Amino acid sequence: MSGYDDRDGKIWMDGQLVEWRDANIHILSHALHYASSVFEGERLYDGKIFLSRKHSERLLKSGEMMDMPIPYSVDEIEAAKQAVVDANGLTNAYVRVVAWRGAGEDMGVSSARNPVRMAVAAWAWGDYYGDAKMQGAKLDIAKWKRPSPETIPTAAKAAGLYMICTMSKHAAEAKGCSDALFMDYRGYVAEATGANVFFVKDGEVHTPLPDAILNGLTRQTVIGMLQARGITVHERHIMPEELEGFEQCWLTGSAAEVTPVGQIGEHKFEVGALTREISEAYEKLVRS
């Protein structure tokens, strides 16, 4: 399969569709040097992007939090996404919207005089964790910690927050794992490299309080699904020693969707009835 820079198709950049291979930026773009970038990852199901407007709204909010005002409205972002989907003839795909500080008058840490640019791309992408939906993903425990909100706006979907995710996922894959679970700066269970985490014990669900992690849109959707079924959901601080007492586990994210987890470090979980029920119900919801 060709690399992501060498494909046929169209990408939306700064207000117009361009050929995929021509969607390039200058080497002195501020984002390349200082991580001044925010993004969204979304899924297109049967021609419709799930929670599309919420993703667009969050993109603008992330830009605000990173002092990087994005010069497009929600409606304009929505139109750009639709243009890309239509131009590439897609009905089921992954959609990536990214905004960044481009090249301009500034090339130091400050970038106020540089333009904020935006692009939208979309491509066919299968299950994020391969066959893990059947047998459960295997996770390593990352050596890095998710940072304090006093360090960086942790509620933003910002590129810089993913640097330790890349390192942790590489380390996990080298051990034969699919992903890694982070603790936060206080030592509480936080999230995986690109997904929120849920646990089941005695018929109730426990998930980390999103006070230092991204409160994912899929996370919020799944909590609503559980509560609609009358299942108690505890959003709270979870200590790592509690992992051995949980019976089931799953991950949620726009890319990950709802993926069962079979093991985290030395702790094993069953791919139980509730995990399968929520995974199947989510599949139906996004296509409804």
**Torsion sign, CA atoms 280, 281, 286, 288:** positive
Q: Residue 36: what are its φ and ψ, rounded to 5°? A: -80, 80
Token output for 146: 């998710």
Q: Residue 257: what are its φ and ψ, rounded to 5°? A: 60, -130
Between strands 48-49 and 37-45, the pairing is antiparallel
44: Cβ–Cβ under 8 A, 6 or more apart, which residues? 50, 85, 90, 91, 92, 93, 94, 95, 122
Residue 191 · residue 249 · CB < 8 Å:
no
Hey, how many other C-beta atoms are within 10 angstroms of the C-beta on 202?
Answer: 8
User: Alpha-carbon distance 53 to 147, whole Å?
Assistant: 28
- Give the residue ranges of DSSP H helices in 95-242: 132-135, 163-174, 217-228
- Which sequence positions are flagged as catalytic? 157
230: left (phi over 0), alpha (psi -120 to 50) or beta: left
CA 15 from centre of chain: 24
Hey, how many other C-beta atoms are within 10 angstroms of the C-beta on 138?
Answer: 19
Give residue 82's identity as a one-letter amino acid code.
Q
User: Alpha-carbon distance 127 to 161, whole Å?
Assistant: 23
